[in-house]
Amino acid sequence: MPINLNGRAILSGIGLYVLLYFLHIGALPWLVGEKAAGSDEQVVLYFVSQGLGILTCLAPGYLAAKMAGHHCFVHGGLVGGISTVITALIAMVFAIVAGSQFVGFGSMPFWVVVNGFLGAFAGIMASDLTDDETEDASAKE
């Protein structure tokens, strides 16, 4: 049984992921302040960064799954995995242009799997809500 993928939903999810990724990178220093990078407040920096990172994976997977309306797990997982690769390539190009070293490829397979599963989890959340809404509508009739 072939899976009918919704390309528009996947592209919308990837676009949201890239947008949230850049907001995460740009907003993090502003949210925690410059002094947190070298002080005892690094714990705050770590947890804010992790929270924004999880949101960056969950929201696009949820959006793609909701837009697709079917195979939500697959749509969310594809958005998480593909977006991770795209943002890593963007970070690599930025590192080359800036003249710094990019060391992200060593852990890339790990992050593709983790972010793919986070997106897929968001897809499951989208499908459960859709199923509940369908059951509620049929129960009222």
Q: Is residue 45 predicted with pLDDT exceeding 90? A: no
At residue 140, the pLDDT reads 54
Across 33-52, average pLDDT? 72
pLDDT tens-digit series, residues 82-132: 999 999 888 888 888 888 877 767 788 899 999 999 999 999 998 865 455
pLDDT tens-digit series, residues 123-140: 999 886 545 555 555 555
- State the Cα–Cα distance between residues 81 and 139, nearest whole angstrom: 37
- State the Cα–Cα distance between residues 12 and 39, nearest whole angstrom: 39
- State the Cα–Cα distance between residues 50 and 47, nearest whole angstrom: 5
| H or E element at residue 37 | none
Quickly state the pLDDT bin for 19 (edges 50, 70, 90). Answer: very high
Q: What is the pTM of this model?
A: 0.79
pLDDT tens-digit series, residues 49-66: 888 889 999 999 999 999
Ranges of each domain in the chain: 7-133
At residue 141, the pLDDT reads 54
Helices (H), 1-107: 7-32, 42-68, 72-98
Question: Residue 104: is it exposed, middle or buried by C-beta count within 10 angstroms (0-12/13-18/19+)?
Answer: middle
Quickly state the pLDDT bin for 37 (edges 50, 70, 90). Answer: low
